[in-house]
């Protein structure tokens, strides 16, 4: 257990230090910032499209963070031969794979959390659909304060203690964003203490939790593929699985009763539609907590199966 925790912690820290990690998060937050302007020209409810764009951005962010984190944690380490130092400690190969997965999921969870706060702030502000709509200055002020203080503190720590700016900014931003969300939960758009009017819906929180489950599944797949292949193959395969998983019911589900290949594909390819509830958002339907539990059971079962495959693949890999 000590070895697993040590490797997982090192993987988490090294992932945060990758420049692409902060770039992906910054790109997602920028898209959240401009999404209200992109959603205001629909013939339907603009705020529903805002949620659609936000959830899609959140899912893609977790996808790319998982892929690049897993690739950097496993395949690049094998290409650089640094894995030889770890395995000669000795560290059992299953422990190595599980530790890498835990570290990657930790990095994905942090990125997902930061982007979820950005998404909830965006939804709280909403779209200015009419000329009478006004900006939510509590959201704008909170987000601006978090951004400015994060940059200043990260620059201070970088200058004083030589901490890496990007990774420090992500951690500091996550901490400050938590305080900002607590403030927004308690204070309404008129700067009054009114938790009942905070504009944050349970459905949006459920959607984020479900998308994180999907990100965990993708992380397991990325770790399994990167145990045998390089970054390019891992990236291509994970994107392919992601796209196929979103249309699993259409590609495999309707043929599963008549064709063996469809039945096999339905069980092998993860059904990511389970974690996507945009239809419920558009229809205004409620999502019971039981659905969250069933989806979690599916995600855990699939993740355990994929990690078992990853361990088997890594056991047979020659490292020299």
Query: What's the confidence (pLDDT) of residue 6?
Result: 87
Q: Which helix (H) or strand (E) holds 74?
A: none
pLDDT in tens, 221-259: 988 888 777 778 888 888 898 888 888 888 887 777 778
Q: Which residue has the tokens 């796209």?
A: 243
Q: Which residue has the tokens 């930790």?
A: 106
Which CA distances in Å does 42 have to 31, 36, 57, 145, 277?
A: 18, 11, 19, 31, 20
Express the helix, strand and coil content of the chain in percent, nearest 5 each: 80, 0, 20
Secondary structure (3-state) at 82:
coil
Residue-by-residue DSSP string for 252-301: TGGGTTT-HHHHHHHHHS--GGGG--HHHHHHT----HHHHHHHHHHHHH
How much is the average pLDDT of 280-284?
Answer: 73
Cα 82 from Cα 110, distance rounded (Å): 26
In 10 A of CB 25, how many CB atoms?
Answer: 23
What are the tokens at 148?
Answer: 């400015």
Of 252, 319, 270, give the one whose Cα is nearest residue 66: 270
Q: Who has greater pLDDT, 314 or 165?
A: 165
Report the Cα 255 to chain-centroid distance in Å.
31
Given a cut of 80, is residue 268 above it in pLDDT?
yes
pLDDT in tens, 210-220: 999 999 999 99
Confidence of residue 81 (pLDDT cuts 50, 70, 90): low
Cα 218 from Cα 302, distance rounded (Å): 10
At residue 29, φ and ψ (nearest 5 deg) are -65, -35
């Amino acid at each position: 257990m000590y070895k697993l925790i040590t490797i997982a912690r090192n993987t988490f820290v090294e992932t945060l230090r990758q420049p692409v990690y902060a770039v992906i998060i910054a790109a997602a937050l920028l898209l959240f910032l401009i999404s209200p302007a992109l959603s205001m020209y629909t013939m339907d409810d603009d705020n529903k499209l805002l949620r659609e764009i936000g959830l899609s951005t959140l899912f893609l962010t977790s996808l790319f963070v998982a892929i690049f984190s897993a690739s950097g944690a496993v395949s690049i380490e094998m290409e650089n031969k640094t894995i030889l130092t770890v395995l000669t400690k000795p560290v059992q190969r299953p422990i190595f794979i599980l530790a890498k997965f835990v570290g990657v999921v930790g990095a994905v969870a942090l990125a997902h959390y930061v982007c979820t706060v950005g998404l909830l702030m965006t939804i709280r502000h909403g779209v200015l659909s009419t000329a009478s709509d006004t900006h939510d200055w509590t959201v704008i002020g909170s987000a601006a304060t978090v951004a400015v203080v994060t940059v200043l503190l990260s620059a201070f720590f970088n200058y004083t203690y030589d901490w890496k700016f990007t990774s420090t900014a992500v951690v500091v931003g996550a901490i400050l964003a938590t305080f900002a969300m607590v403030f927004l939960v308690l204070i309404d758009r008129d700067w009054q203490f009114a938790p009942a009017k905070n504009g944050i819906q349970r459905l949006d929180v459920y959607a984020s939790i479900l998308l994180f489950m999907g990100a965990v599944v993708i992380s397991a797949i990325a770790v399994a593929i990167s145990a045998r292949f390089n970054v390019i193959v891992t990236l291509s395969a994970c994107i392919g699985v992601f796209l196929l998983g979103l249309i699993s019911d259409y590609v495999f589900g309707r043929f599963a009763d008549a064709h063996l290949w469809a039945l096999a594909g339905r069980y092998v390819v993860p059904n990511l539609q389970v974690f996507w509830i945009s239809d419920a958002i558009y229809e205004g339907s409620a999502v019971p907590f039981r659905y969250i539990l069933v989806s979690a059971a599916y995600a855990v079962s699939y993740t355990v199966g994929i990690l078992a495959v990853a361990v088997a693949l890594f056991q047979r890999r020659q490292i020299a």
